[in-house]
Amino acid sequence: MNIRFPMKSGGRGDPPSVTLDGDTIVLDCTGCRYAPVPGSCECAGCMVRSMIEHGARERVVLRDGTDLEVSGAAGRALSEVASIARRNRPGTPATGRCRGCGAERSAVIARVWATFPGDGMRCAREMLGGACDGPGCAGCVEGTRTVLDWIEAGIRRVTEGMSGW
């Protein structure tokens, strides 16, 4: 899913407005700087982030003059990834000593989904390398690694399962 497309003229980079219609999430892409191409990294990430915020659906419509529908196996895969993300959303920001830690769990998990489907997982794992060494840090870092492993396994399960749909 490393397809990238040129920017469209007149695109401002605005996030899409979202409308829910039964089992469909409609994304108005008119303000986006990219042409709506469901297989592109930009569109896949935007669809998943919209489902994380507004709830997963098995049908997505990208609206920009003409409607493009994503459904079937691709819609189910995006919905499943969004569900994985919703179950692993960053919690409340850390306080005290943990707030300044480069491996603080909320920041690490947020990094994964902010750049999905890009290199967020790699970046998140790199963030764990800069962990503090105070009391409780080792357990926190190990717990965060476990969450990242679970997210990665879930995404792998979805993408491997796509070939069978």
* Residue at 109 is within a domain: yes
pLDDT, tens only, 38-72: 878 788 888 988 998 898 888 999 998 889 999 98
pLDDT per residue over 64-90, tens digit each?
Answer: 888 999 998 888 888 888 888 877 666
Residue 123 counted as domain residue: yes
Both 83 and 30 in one domain: the answer is yes
Number of domain units in the chain: 2
Could you tell me the pTM of the whole model? Answer: 0.71
Which among 90, 83, 131 has a CA at the least distance from the CA of 110? 90
Q: What is the pLDDT of residue 155?
A: 80
Mark which of 49, 65, 87 sits at the end of a domain.
Answer: 87
Residue 45 located in a structural domain: yes
Tell me, yes or no, whether 110 and 158 share the same domain: yes
By residue range, what is the domain housing residue 63?
17-87
Rounded to whole angstroms, how far apart are CA atoms 99 and 74?
Answer: 38
Domain termination residue (choose one: 70, 87, 104)? 87
The whole-number pLDDT of residue 76 equals 85
Contacts of residue 42, defined as CB under 8 A and 6 or more positions apart, other chains included, come to 4, 5, 32, 34
